[in-house]
Amino acid sequence: MAHYFQERPQAAGRPGVVTLVLPDLHLRLRTDSGMFSPDRIDPGTRVLLESVPPPPATGDLLDLGCGYGPIALTMASRAPEATVWAVDVNRRALDLCAENATAAGLYKVRTAHADEMPADVRFSAIWSNPAIRIGKTALHDMLTRWLDRLAPGGAAYLVVQKHLGSDSLQRWLRDEGRPTARVASRSSYRILKVEAKG
């Protein structure tokens, strides 16, 4: 699975479709090999989408590590007046996320490579199923980079499996001066709410 957080995956294309069904929306999403969970909606992503409160109605919202777009498109569906930034390093995933947003009529989703995101944008909310498997140092660097861009009063919601280090991640975030609380728990998944630094 390491290839899904490469910029240009080497895996041969294997197009597919997954269906995301939530109480408030039903989306058919095109997928492909070389990205995260191309054969189904990842269980952690589903727990996140079924657990978090509605996103802010306006402003800039971020799906960090968007893949083919289930989180970004859900945010856009629930906050149609907001601008949703779908950010990833995987260009194959970004292309599919953009196509899926267009197909769903969600025209305020903007895809951006992580290194090409406008520097002045601050986020009212961040939702993410972060790439834990990139390693602790890379994960911490990534989270620091994007959590520093939370607007005052903003919050991030992260879904992390317990056995992949949700408790230690929560401690690290607190040690970094970021108020962090576990706000939901289901199966082996934890939802962490991370507030902007004061």
The full DSSP string for 35-70 is SSSTTS--HHHHHHHHHSPPPPSSSEEEEET-TTSH
Q: What is the pLDDT of residues 120-148, one digit of tens each?
A: 999 999 999 998 878 889 999 999 999 99
6 falls in which pLDDT band (50, 70, 90)?
Answer: low
pTM: 0.93
